[in-house]
Each structure stands twice: as structure tokens, then as C-alpha cells.
Structure 1
Amino acid sequence: MGRTSLDSLVTFVSVARAGSISAAAADLGSTQSTVSDQISSLERSLGYRLFERSSRGVVLTTRGRQLMARVGAQIDAAVSAVEATRGEPAARETILLGGPAEFVSEVVLPHVTRVAPDLTLRVEFGEAEPLLETLTTGGLDVMISAIQPRVAGVEFRPFFDEQFVLLMTPDRAEDFATRPEMVPLLAYAEELPIIRRYWRTVFRRRPTDLTVAAVVPDLRVLGALAAQGRGMTVLPHYLAEPYLRSGRLVDPVQPPEPPLNTLYVARRRARPGRAPRTDRLAELVDEAARVFSDRVD
């Protein structure tokens, strides 16, 4: 195996994050041919392929993903350290995080504030599309999105699968077993996006024969109303789990393949090491999801 240079690893990290040679070249202030040559040289040095090439860009191979997991954060730290020797002071800016209120509040913030109390955070809650616009214009540094944020200049990766659960009190579950239409709905929005998705996936039909008792744009409130016996609702597992564990709410269906929704962590593309605090927050979001999943499994 040949000697591996820091420059080639920086280029590798940039390409992995950008998803294309041309975008990485723009981020690095280099040419496509130079970036491509560096990746080819690194692959020869390592003795295995890092990317699969296609007309749409590049995708990490299995070994490429393993390498990225091992060196991504270290390369960011190394580049940041090199920049510091040039007299550039360490940034102390506030880090701006956006995402759905429930997931950020229940999964991300408890972990991030516990393990990284030195980070100065400002948090904005909201739906994916307006937050994505805020991200692209510089109003956010890191965003958690329920949709794939395919926007120029934004890098993203999937990091958490929400599993949806149908919930109601045990007595409501008895009614549901015989006449589901007797149990009113507690919905997040008038269009019933979560409930419609659950019904189509699990029951292969639309929830057209049900009565809506309340519409509240906060999943945590819907869980509390369901626990009071006001009706049934559909929640992601990270909110459903405490109710199920205590027995206050039950899942009368327990489908073998519950509906899933993938969450993505997104940020504006940057050269490795140029935004170390943003890099750190993105990694902490990943870590928060892993810690939560390990706790509830």
C-alpha cells in the first residue's frame, strides 16, 4: 500500500459529501480532472474502489462508506488545525439548527446539550420546505428534514427511520376491533398526512369513514389527548414508546411492516475543516439518533 496524503483524503471527504466530482471540485477551488486524478490515486494507494461512478455522480462503495466513517471527522479536525496555524482564530459563532419540533426536542437536544454543553445553539422549528429555504440562504447551519433536500449547494444523508404506530387507550382498542369508525381521529393536519399514509400502507385504503375529533400541529399533544381517551392517533415510535411501555396506550394492529419515514440531516456544502462547529453538530445529530435507537431497542 502506498503512502496516503492529507490532500487526497481531503478530496475524498469532499467528493463523498458533494456526491459528484464537479461539485467537489467547485468546493475545493480545483478542477474536475485534478479531483478525479486524486481519487484514482487514492484508490490505487488503498487497493480498493471508493466510489461507483455513474452519469448522475458518484456513490460511495461499502469500503468507501467505512473509510468515510473512520476519517471524516479526523480530516475536518486536521484541516481546522492547519488553518489555525495560519493565524485564523477558532470560530465561536452560534450554531443554527432547524427541524421538526418533536424530533429535535425529544431526541436531538437532550443528547446534544448533555454531551456538548460548550455549543451555543439557536433552534428553529418548522416543516421541511420553509426550513430548507432558510438553510440555503444561510439562516440555518444544520437541518433535520423529513424530505430529501435535493437543492443545489446542500449536502444531505439519511440518518434515522421513523416507525409509525397507531395508538389508543385499551378501551378504545376494544371498540376499534369491532367498529373502527367508532374511534375518532386525532390528527396533525387537516389533510391527515400521517394518518392517510398509515391507512394506505397498513389497511390498503383511505381513512374516509373516520371522524376527526381534533387537529393539533404538535404530535406530543396528540399523544397526550389519546392517553386521555379522546381518540386514536398515529405517532412516530420515539414518541409512542413511553406510552406503550407504561400501558397507557396500545397498538391494536402491530403490523409486521409498519410505515417508515426517513429523516435526513442536511447542511450547506463546505470544504472539509472549514466549518468545524457545524461539522460537530451534524455528527452529534447522528450520534443522538444512534443513542436513542440503542435505548429503545
Structure 2
Amino acid sequence: MPPTRRTSLDALAAFVAVARAGSVTGGADELGLTQSTVSAQLQALERELGYRVFDRTSRGVTPTSRGRALLARIGGAMDAAVDAVAEATGAGAAEHTVFLGGPAEFLSTVVLPRLREWAGADLDVRVRFGETPELLTGLEASELDLVVSTTQPRMRGIEFAPLVDEQFVLVVAPALLDAFRRDPDSVPVVAYGDQLPIIRRYWRSVFGRRPAGLRAVAIVPDLRVLAGLAADGVGMTVLPTYLAEPYLAAGRLVDPVDPADPPLNTVYLARRRSRPGANPATDAAAERLHALLRA
């Protein structure tokens, strides 16, 4: 029985991709989707058609005779539809839009001030701030094209590459310097999260131990705000150098430790896997961001 008008085009695209790849995993990677999503689409397609489109083996999947017939009928049409969309979106370079997600502090301080250098006149940019897990979920769901990730993504269908290494520095206001030298753990803390994740990591990396009895007097999930609070003498904190340097240069904050090997955190640029050339705007933005931050 032929597909009805209710048949999902996403399911048909999944069928074509899996048939050509020879496996659900390969088809999912081609589409930039999770294996579970593609499997669900294929199951829905088979229910709609009323017959199996694949024989499943330990080595992958092989189209059934009806599956081969369906592929012959719709494969070319699906390719033509993809090409037509690519041509339509590529008709005017200025119409290319890239949806970029990342931490508010990093994007606002490092990336967006140099927007003209990497976006130029041919890319429109839409930005979403947020925490890395939430943004990666948006990337997986095709709500975002690129995500600046503070952790290494571990999601099927998502590829990534190192973008830059953040260096972290412990900072205190000059008025708290003597107290820090007497007992670092006695100085009040202003922190990003309740568990003091950045500060605890610094203690383990630099001092070789866990902090003992640190007292957080303010929890604010914005490193820019923490920099200001620390400069006002509210408490010490740990900041990436790109945020700390202006305060250090002005003498409003000091680094009481200055370790030989300061802690580093690799920032990644993540995107969905896709066939080469399928997303020229995303390709251009990713290449330019890498070049900009390497320089």
C-alpha cells in the first residue's frame, strides 16, 4: 500500500538515509539525529505502510523487496527536495542565519564584541545564552546550529572540536589579601554555584587538596557579576583570565597565588553532524570562529 498524505517526511528521509548507510547508526549520523529518534521514525513508517522496509541483522539493516521498491520511488525525489531547499536558502548570502548558543559571559566578552570579524556581511546571527547541557539539547533538536560548550559533548550525532583553552585565576580584593595569606579557607567566597565547582577545582589543581570550610556569602550564576563583587571586597572567587585581567590591571583585584601551572578548561564548538556542504552558513561561521580564536 502506498504512503498516505499523513506519512512523515522526516520518516521518509530517515528511511532513505538508513537504506543508503546500511545501518540505523549511519543514517542517524548522516541526519544529525539520535539513533533512538531514527528508529522511532522507521517504526512509525512501517506502521503507516503496513509492511517492513528493512530486514535487521547483527551487521545492520538491508531493505526488503518492498523497501527497495520504495527507495527507488522516493530516493530521487528526496534528493531533489534537499537540493531545492539548499538552493533556496543559498540564493542570497545575506539571508543566511546561524543560531549560536553559549555561556553569556564568554559570548558577551570574547565572541560578540568581534562579531563583524567572523560573521561579516553575509551571516545573520541569533544568540541564545544558557548552561551547556540545555544548549546541547537545543542543538540536538535543531534549535541551534552551533554551541560553545564548556564541556566535551557526548551525544550521538553531535561533533565538536576544541575552540580555545580558558585559563583560570583566583582573585581577591587588596583589602582581603592579608586574610588570605594567613588562611585561604577563611576568606568568604562569591561563587557561581552552590557546590563551588570552579573554586573547588582550583583548590584541587593548585593546592592539591579540597577546600576546608569555605563559606559562600553570595551565589550568582554570572561570572561578570562575581568579578564585580570580588572587586568590591565581598569575597574571593575564581575567574577566567579574560574577565579578571581588566580588574587586575586596574589594581582592583590581585592574584595571591600566581601558580606556575594555572588551571585550564577547554571550550569546544559543537554542531550536528551533516553531509559536507549541507549547511554552508554553519560551516562558514564555525571556520571563522576557529580562525578568530586561534589568532
**Category of TM-score, reference length = shorter chain:** 0.5 to 0.7
Q: How far apart in 2 are the matches of 1:87 and 1:102?
A: 32
Matching residue of 2:183: 179
2:267 counterpart of 1:263: yes
Q: Which runs of 5+ in 1 are unaligned?
A: 1-21, 29-79, 292-297
Say if 1:107 and 1:288, in contact at 8 Å, map to a contact too. no
2-side partners of 1:279 and 1:87: how far apart? 14
Q: Aligned equivalents of 1:199 and 1:222: distance in 2?
A: 18
The count of corresponding residues between Structure 1 and Structure 2 is 216
Task: Map 1:161-240 to 2 at 5 A.
Answer: 161-240=165-244
Contact 1:112 1:288 in 2 (8 A): no
The offset of 1:257, in angstroms, is 0.9
SS of corresponding position for 2:270: strand
Sequence identity percentage: 54
Residues 83-124 of structure 1, C-alpha deviation per residue, up to 9 Å, x if partnerless?
86x996346242100011110111011112355343211111
Aligned counterparts of 1:178 and 1:159: Cα–Cα separation in 2: 38
SS of the aligned residue for 2:170 comes to strand
Moved over 4 A (4+): 22-26
Distance 1:278 1:87 in 2: 12
Q: Deviations over 1:159-186 (max 9, x none)?
A: 2111110001122112101122342001
Residues 1:110 and 2:113 aligned together? yes
**Considering only aligned residues, what root-mean-square deviation do their CA atoms show, in Å?**
2.5
1:131 aligns with 2:110: no
Q: TM-score, normalised by structure 2?
A: 0.67
Q: Establish whether residue 276 from structure 1 lines up as the match of residue 280 from structure 2.
A: yes
The structure 2 residue matched to 1:99, chosen from 85, 102, 116, is 102
Q: What are structure 2's unaligned runs of at least 5 residues?
A: 1-24, 32-82
Conserved 8 A contact 2:227-2:239: yes
Q: Aligned in 2, Cα 1:125/1:152: closer, same or farther, shift over 3 Å?
A: same
Contact 1:112/1:284, CA 8 A, preserved across alignment? no
**Residues 115, 158 of structure 1: CA spacing in aligned structure 2 closer, same or farther, 3 A cutoff?**
closer
The correspondence for 1:248, drawn from 233, 252, 257, is 252
Shift of the 228–87 alpha-carbon distance from structure 1 to 2, 3 Å rule, reads closer
